[in-house]
Chains A and B, each alone.
Chain A
């Protein structure tokens, strides 16, 4: 899931899409991006969207 590189950097679950044009992303359908999306959707299905809600009056 996560690994460290020389103990200084953690590789994460989110693909770095900052420099990829939006119209090119569609071409990456069968790529690791699709796997990342599938993984994310799986996590969403398992966990839902948990809500933190707090009543400060208790």
Chain B
């Protein structure tokens, strides 16, 4: 059996973050085969399950087999519609989950294939008749919408239709559910907000974006359980007003992409077919996500502006393409040890870090251009600082990745090409203010991460503390072991970190908050956001030296404040060895000046 081939040229383009529509087409073709392969595996399991099956699962299995036969016909007579179905992230998500359920010996949802088969038959305008599941009073037709089902005899209330079956019949003109609801076939389409309403039909919300001669059609998935698979819940049942807002911003973001980032627009139009709106835990969060189980879908909470949505599309599309490549060519041998990722608060496995690196390659390319497109000073500052913050982060993360030793030979080659491209993209100059803001935000992230997740050998730290108390010189040979251990210490400085990020993410909001006298930050933190860095250093120093209780937030603040002063050995020591200095100080048992201790480290 032959396998899909990937040209070296396509591999190199992918590594450089330059997947054009041809390369995306290659990935999509491979997904077609992957999804066929998963379908065959599920069919084999269904055949096995059907042997002697007479219980509750019998209707599901019968529906599955009928749908499989229907798909065979559609593949033969209407290959374009069959390919549409195979490319649906809904099908991909269901196939992954079904395989996992089979492997875990939990009940698979065989019936969903009937919903998929019916959707493909309707799209192909092919006559069919199929038993399909009814949930909450309607039949789900993935990729198209939901069809209400009228209550049958003895089913007076909608609640009685929560989980049942109906025979769905379709011809070239009409689709009829059971003996009741009949809807024109042509009406069973997604709802992009421009078509007439059809009684009994709820088209999947969709956006039809057009700008600069380029078109993007994308579904806004809000009701399919197999796309509700992210760390935040899908925003189900969005009201019409919110759907309008999503459509408007998809249009605006599309205009940003077609005008300034054409390299990304074409591939995104081909490769992203579904956006899953997410409900964030906090209104200030902007969460976006991608799953390799649903190629072609990206998820995001409501973005603050169209430029941010455009950046999110570029970012998440990088994940989509990398997921497509990873299905074809493994780039890591194992998930790998957990390491620092400059864009995450938690330690990441190396395989996850690779995803982040690749996403940020797209991000720096986006901001590199976007900074020249912005005219508003705050928007320009944001774009410049975004560019300045993430350029060096890629180099650092590739170094980390290559040190883990978990890359395959293809992974080593991939990251080498990626790094070379990122260095080309990072070559542009950055205004001083944006550069400083970016460096400080990056430093705060690194210091905070170290304090939270870097454990220190306690016995060795105690020996160093004893040597310091005795007034001995620093024993250079005595280096305490350090290792990554998630949440080894707690910090409460998230407001300070958020403010540092807001300086460039939303400069107007930053100015407003810093002027707010009741902002919940410490007195030293307030000084940090003022003009007198020396006063901030002294305040943090006093806070730490004034108690034997550990003050991890103040140690991070002290190091940040020192970095606002001219270079010194003290600030280098704290930037490089903050967890060790903190741990030794905690073991002293008496109040002590943190800078005196840092000076002792040399």
Listed in ascending order, the chain A residues whose CB lies under 8 Å from chain B are 1-2, 4-5, 7-18, 20-23, 25-26, 28-29, 31-33, 36-37, 40-41, 44-45, 47, 49-58
Q: How far is the CA of A30 from the CA of B290 in the complex (A)?
A: 34
A36 CB, min distance to chain B CBs, angstroms: 6
- Indicate whether B43 reaches chain A with its CB closer than 8 angstroms: yes
Docked CA distance A52–B308 (Å)? 18
Judge whether B40 and A25 touch: CB under 8 Å.
Answer: yes
The distance in angstroms between the C-alpha atoms of A33 and B208, with both chains bound, is 39
The yes or no answer to B96 lying at the interface (CB within 8 A) is yes
Taking CB atoms, residues of chain B closer than 8 Å to A57 are 284-286, 498, 501, 505
Q: 6 tightest CB-CB pairs across the interface, nearest first?
A: A12-B328, A32-B1, A53-B289, A56-B286, A17-B33, A17-B36
For A15, what are the chain B residues with a Cβ–Cβ distance below 8 Å?
Answer: 1-4, 33, 37
CA distance A28 to B290 in the complex (A): 33
Q: Is the CB of A44 within 8 A of B1?
A: no
Binds A, one of B351-359, B478-486, B517-525: B351-359
> Which single residue of chain B is at the shortest CB-CB distance from A38?
B41
* Residue contacts A-B, CB under 8 angstroms, 17 given: A10-B5, A10-B8, A12-B30, A13-B3, A17-B36, A22-B36, A22-B75, A23-B69, A29-B44, A44-B99, A49-B292, A49-B293, A52-B355, A55-B345, A57-B284, A57-B285, A58-B445
Given contacts A15-B3, A44-B96, contact A54 B329 (CB under 8 A): no
- Please tell me if the beta carbons of B285 and A55 are within 8 angstroms of each other in the complex: yes
Question: What 0/1 readout, one digit per residue, does chain B (277-298) give for beta carbons within 8 Å of chain A?
Answer: 0000000111111111100000
Known: A1-B330, A58-B497. A9 touches B7 (CB 8 A): yes
Given contacts A10-B11, A50-B292, A54-B315, contact A16 B343 (CB under 8 A): no
Out of B8, B103, B286, B497, name the residue touching A41 (CB < 8 Å): B103
Cα distance, A47 to B1, chains bound together (Å): 26
With a CB–CB cut-off of 8 A, which chain B residues contact A9?
Answer: 5-8
Residues in chain A near residue B330, CB distance under 8 A: 1-2, 13
CA distance A51 to B100 in the complex (A): 15
CB proximity to A under 8 Å, residues B342-401: 343-345, 351-352, 355-356, 359
Render B30-72 as a binary contact track against A, CB cut-off 8 A, 1 for contact: 1011101111110110010000000000000000000011011
Q: Give B71's nearest chain A residue, CB to CB.
A: A22
Say whether B30 contacts A14, CB under 8 Å. Answer: yes
Instruction: Please tell me if B251 contacts chain A, counting CB pairs below 8 Å.
Output: no
Cβ of B335 under 8 Å from chain A:
yes
> Which residues of A lie under 8 Å from residue B410 when comparing CB positions?
2, 10
Dominant SS among interface residues on chain B = helix
B586 within 8 A of A: no
Q: Return the contact of B359 from the options A32, A49, A52 (Cβ within 8 A).
A: A52
B319 within 8 A of partner (CB): yes
Q: 1/0 contact trace for B87-99 toward A, CB 8 Å?
A: 0000000001001
Residues A7 and B8 in contact, CB atoms below 8 Å apart: yes
A17 to B343, CA, bound (A): 38
Interface string of B386-424 (1 = CB under 8 A from A): 000000000000000000000010100000000000000
Closest chain A CB from B355 CB (angstroms):
5
The answer to whether A21 touches B76, judged by C-beta atoms less than 8 angstroms apart, is yes
In the assembled complex, how far is the CB of residue B288 from the closest CB belonging to chain A, in whole angstroms? 5
- Please name all residues of chain B whose beta carbon is closer than 8 Å to the beta carbon of A4 when the two chains form the complex: 8
B residues sitting closer than 8 Å to A (CB atoms) are 1-9, 11, 29-30, 32-34, 36-41, 43-44, 47, 68-69, 71-72, 75-76, 96, 99-100, 103, 229-231, 284-293, 308, 311-312, 315-316, 319, 327-330, 335, 343-345, 351-352, 355-356, 359, 408, 410, 445, 497-498, 501, 505
The interface residues of chain A, by DSSP majority, are classed as: mixed
The listed residue with most B CB atoms (<10 A of its CB), out of A5, A8, A13, A28, is A13
Set B75, B103, B231: member contacting A51, Cβ < 8 A: B231
Q: How far is the CB of A18 from chain B (nearest CB, A)?
A: 6
Docked Cα-Cα span, A32 to B8, in Å, equals: 25
Interface contact B1-A33, CB-CB below 8 Å: yes
Counting chain B CB atoms within 10 Å of each CB, which of A4, A7, A9, A31 scores highest? Answer: A9
B505 (CB) vs chain A CBs: closest residue: A57
Closest beta carbon of chain A to B279's beta carbon, Å: 14
Cβ-defined partner of B287 (8 Å) among A45, A50, A55: A55
In the bound assembly, the distance between CA atoms of A21 and B352 in angstroms comes to 36
Q: Give CA–CA (A34, B4) in the complex, Å.
A: 16
Task: Determine how close the nearest CB of chain B comes to the CB of A5; give it in whole angstroms.
Answer: 8
CB neighbours (8 Å) of B292 from chain A are 49-50
- Interfacial chain B residues near A23, Cβ < 8 Å: 69, 72
Question: Is the CB–CB distance between B359 and A54 below 8 Å?
Answer: yes
User: How long is the Cα–Cα vector from A20 to B41 in the complex, in angstroms?
Assistant: 15
What is the distance, in angstroms, from A9's C-beta to the closest C-beta of chain B? 5
Q: List chain B residues, Cβ under 8 A from A41.
A: 41, 99, 103
- Which residues does chain A contribute within 8 Å of B351, judged by CB atoms? 47, 50
In the complex, which residue of chain B has the Cβ closest to the Cβ of A10?
A: B6
Whole-angstrom CA separation of A29 from B316 in the bound complex: 36
- The interface residues of chain A lying within 8 Å CB-to-CB of B4 are 12, 14-16
A1 with B103, Cβ < 8 A, contacts A10-B11, A25-B36, A56-B286 known? no
Most buried by B among A5, A22, A26, A31: A22
Q: Are A51 and B308 in contact (CB under 8 A)?
A: no
A4 to B96, alpha carbons, bound, how many Å? 29
Question: Is there an interface contact between A58 and B345, defined as CB atoms closer than 8 Å?
Answer: yes
Rounded to whole angstroms, the CA-CA distance of A35 and B488 in the bound complex is 43
Q: Which residue of chain A is the closest to B319 with respect to CB atoms?
A: A52
Are B335 and A13 in contact (CB-based, < 8 A)?
Answer: no
Identify which of B3, B39, B72, B498 contacts A21 (C-beta below 8 A): B72
CB-CB under 8 A for A16 and B33, given A47-B335, A58-B497: yes
Tell me, in angstroms, the Cα distance from A57 to B311 when the chains sit together.
Answer: 13
B290 touches A33 (CB 8 A): no
Q: Counting chain B CB atoms within 10 Å of each CB, which of A5, A26, A41, A58 scores highest?
A: A58
Please tell me if the beta carbons of A31 and B1 are within 8 angstroms of each other in the complex: yes
Contact B75 A21 (CB under 8 A): yes
